[in-house]
C-alpha cells in the first residue's frame, strides 16, 4: 500500500488567515495560535496575510475572492459564533461552513477554525484554554492539506 499524506513543512507556502472581528477577544487568540503554528512550521511572516472581516458570515466570500486570485496555497478561517436565544446562530454558523464549497470550487484548502459554541466558556476553552487552541489546529490542517495537494 502506498500512503500519501501532507507534511507540516510550510516552507515556501503562502497562507491567508481570514478572521472575524465579531467576538474579537476570543478570535484574536485563535489568530495568535494560527500565526504561531504557521511560523513554527516554516511559513515566513511575509507569506502570511491576515484579513479581518466584520463577522463569521462574511468569511466565505472573502476567502473565495482570495482563493480565486491564486495568490495563496491555503486559507485559515477563524471566528466565533456563540449560540443565543434566537435562530441567528443557525444561520451564521451554517453560512460560515460554506467554506467547504469554496474549497471544492477553487481547489484551495480552506481550514475551518470557526468555533460554534454553546457559551462563552466553551469558546475560551477552545481558544488557548483547556481544549487547546483551535486556531493552531486549523493552521496545522491547512499546512497538511496544502502540502498533500502539492504532491498530487
Consult the annotation and say whether 85 binds a ligand.
yes
Residue 90's pLDDT is: 74
Q: For a pLDDT cut of 90, what percent of the chain falls above it?
A: 89
Structural domain tally of the chain? Answer: 1
In a domain, 13, yes or no: no
Res 97: pLDDT: 78
- 49 located within any domain: no
In a domain, 19, yes or no: no
CATH code assigned at 122: 3.40.50.960
101 belongs to a structural domain: yes
- CB 123, CB 81: distance < 8 Å: no
Instruction: Identify whether 16 is part of a domain.
Output: no
Give Rg (Cα) of the chain: 15
Is residue 1 included in any domain, yes or no? no
- pLDDT value of position 111: 97
Q: What is the pLDDT of residue 41?
A: 98
User: Is there a domain that residue 151 lies in?
Assistant: no
Residue numbers annotated as active site: 88
Report DSSP state, residue 104.
H
Per-residue model confidence (pLDDT) at position 95: 74
pLDDT for 60: 96
In a domain, 126, yes or no: yes
Q: 106 lies in which domain range?
A: 27-41+56-145
Is the Cβ–Cβ distance between 75 and 108 less than 8 Å?
yes
- Which three cell numbers, joined as nine digits, stand for 77? 478561517
- 112 is annotated as contributing to ligand binding: yes
Q: Is 32 left (phi over 0), alpha (psi -120 to 50) or beta?
A: alpha
**Helix%, strand%, coil% for the chain, nearest 5:** 50, 20, 30
Is residue 92 part of an annotated ligand binding site? no
Q: Is 120 annotated as a binding residue?
A: no
pLDDT of amino acid 84: 74
Tens digits of per-residue pLDDT, 113-138? 999 999 999 999 999 999 999 999 99
61-101 pLDDT, tens digit per residue, is 999 999 999 999 999 999 999 987 777 767 677 777 789 99
CA 129 to CA 131: how far, in whole Å? 6
56 is in an annotated binding site: yes
Give the pLDDT confidence of 43-55 residue by residue, as tens digits: 999 999 999 999 9
Neighbours of 128 (CB within 10 A): 17
Mean pLDDT across the chain, nearest whole number? 94
Amino acid at each position: 500500500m502506498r500512503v500519501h499524506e501532507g507534511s507540516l513543512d510550510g516552507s515556501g507556502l503562502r497562507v491567508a488567515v481570514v478572521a472575524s472581528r465579531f467576538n474579537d477577544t476570543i478570535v484574536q487568540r485563535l489568530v495568535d495560535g494560527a500565526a504561531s503554528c504557521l511560523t513554527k512550521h516554516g511559513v515566513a511572516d511575509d507569506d502570511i496575510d491576515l484579513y479581518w472581516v466584520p463577522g463569521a458570515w462574511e468569511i466565505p466570500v472573502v476567502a473565495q475572492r482570495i482563493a480565486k486570485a491564486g495568490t495563496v496555497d491555503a486559507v485559515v478561517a477563524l471566528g466565533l459564533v456563540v449560540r443565543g436565544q434566537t435562530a441567528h446562530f443557525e444561520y451564521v454558523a451554517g453560512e460560515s461552513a460554506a467554506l467547504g464549497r469554496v474549497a471544492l470550487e477553487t481547489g484551495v484548502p480552506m481550514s475551518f477554525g470557526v468555533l460554534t459554541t454553546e457559551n462563552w466558556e466553551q469558546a475560551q476553552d477552545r481558544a488557548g484554554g483547556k481544549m487547546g487552541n483551535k486556531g493552531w489546529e486549523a493552521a496545522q490542517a491547512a499546512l497538511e492539506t496544502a502540502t498533500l495537494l502539492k504532491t498530487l
